[in-house]
Amino acid sequence: MREYRQIKYERPPGATDILLVRHGESRAATADNPFPTIDGHGDPELHRNGQAQAIQVGHRLQHQPITAVYVSNLQRTWQTAAPLCEHLKLTPIVDPDLREVYLGEWEGGVMRIKAHENDPLYQRLVAEQRWDVIPGAESNEELELRLTRGLERIAKNHPDELVVAVVHGGVIGGILARATGAQPFAFSRADNGSISHIVMVGDHIVVRRFNDAAHIDTGL
């Protein structure tokens, strides 16, 4: 009798594996020392814990057949990518479309302060799951548009390859929510240094993994 066994997933021909790495922990926000900005976006450097997490990411992925490493134009991503790029002898590719959600009046670290204080507007943001509850912030639709543009560009340039994109928590959340049809903030809590795995098959996204942080020292 013929047997029909379960089939192991394999990347379809022409598709692209993308490992979405959340950057390491960035420095603390304080009211009297706001983050510097680049093109209006808060641009903090890595905290010493984030530097350690970056090294751990590099160790975890150094033996994978990675052909390219992408980062956003914010320094915490390329600082996180640096140890891995050193292992792989690759130069990171900067794609501004992969930058974090624009937070309008809450840029520069204000968002963190509002979250810790459980500000009423922050409560509304969480309840409605829309970034543009914040005055001047990017909408969910605007975020999805540019992330789609960035992912499709990566897929077009790297068919049949494994690529790393060191990005941000809001970016990972937006990509996985789009891919799964989940609520907008369903995947918004990726850990610093964690790895999520998607496969780009044309304009379709297959989710393989979310928030793999087995390599991260939880004592940091």
pLDDT tens digits, 150-167:
999 999 999 999 999 999
What is the residue extent of each domain of the chain? 16-101+140-212
User: Which pTM was predicted?
Assistant: 0.96
Residue 114: pLDDT over 70: yes
pLDDT for 125 = 97
Report the residue count for the chain: 220
Condensed to tens digits (0 to 9), the pLDDT of residues 166-210 reads 999 999 999 999 999 999 999 999 999 999 999 999 889 999 999
Stretch among 5-9, 47-51, 89-93 having the lowest mean pLDDT = 5-9
Which CATH code for domain 16-101+140-212? 3.40.50.1240
pLDDT for 218 = 79
Average pLDDT value for residue range 114-119: 96
C-alpha 194, offset from chain centre: 9
- From residue 39, alpha-carbon distances to 100, 169, 174, 185 in Å are 12, 19, 21, 25
Q: What percentage of the chain has pLDDT greater than the value 70?
A: 100
pLDDT for 220 = 67
Residue the block writes with tokens 């990518």: 81
Who's near 202: CB < 8 A, 6+ residues apart? Answer: 15, 155
Q: Which residues pair with 1 in a beta bridge?
A: none
Within 1-108, strands assigned E span 16-22, 37-38, 41-42, 66-71, 93-94
Residue the block writes with tokens 């479309």: 97
Amino acid making up residue 115: A
Least Cα distance to 143 among 167, 175, 183 occurs for: 175
